[in-house]
Structure 1
């Protein structure tokens, strides 16, 4: 895992990259938040969707809700970046749409969009 800190519009944002899956369950999400906070002191994270297990994107499991609730509880905003067009689930598309209207969790296509969004909320 590599964590790079950027500043945009006066807001510090952690860009997390990894060649492996980092979030597989609630505890691994908490570990990621703690690591980012400890290493770079940020509570805004950009993470590629490839670093999150596929079960997260299956809303029939409670995984996405449980994990994202922890981000909200610990006041950490996250932008998950990648191509979400391969997912055919209407409920997932609705979930992404509603999340993007909020202030804490975003599903965006690239790092530039993510850092811009996280610097504005």
Structure 2
């Protein structure tokens, strides 16, 4: 299944296919941003599509990706269980905590949580 734009909780969301290509470069992030220009207000990326470097903050990869989305004022929702990554990194725990209060980057465990978050911005 390709990435598709669908309405969720009254918001148009680019739902990225879990089996799609990995987000392993900033260009991959820009490609998703470009795909959102067809009408999406949020991009939802499954955890499994993110390169492992995203969760190792020392690589700065997460910061680069998040900055691209912030520059375009496009929320990025990371969907899935990141418990293992959180257990390994206090810096990531702090980032996830802070992002929970922002409108730019959301870490949600599943689609129900995404829908709840979307209802708060719709």
In the superposition, the TM-score normalised over structure 2's length comes to 0.87
What does residue 59 of structure 1 align with? 57
Question: What stretches of structure 1 of length at least 5 have no aligned partner?
Answer: none
What does residue 118 of structure 1 align with? 118
1:5-46, CA deviations, whole angstroms, 9 ceiling, x for partnerless residues? 3324432122111314431111110011112323xx103011
| Pairwise CA RMSD | 1.6
Contact 1:21 1:50 (8 Å CA) reproduced: no
What does residue 84 of structure 1 align with? 82
Give the structure with the larger helix fraction: 2
Aligned length: 119
DSSP-derived class of the 2:77 partner = strand
Contact 2:11 2:41 (8 Å CA) reproduced: no
Indicate how the Cα distance of structure 1 residues 81 and 32 shifts in structure 2: closer, same or farther if over 3 A, else same: same
Question: What stretches of structure 2 of length at least 5 have no aligned partner?
Answer: none
Give the structure with the larger strand fraction: 1
DSSP-derived class of the 2:67 partner = helix
Distance 1:73 1:119 in 2: 23
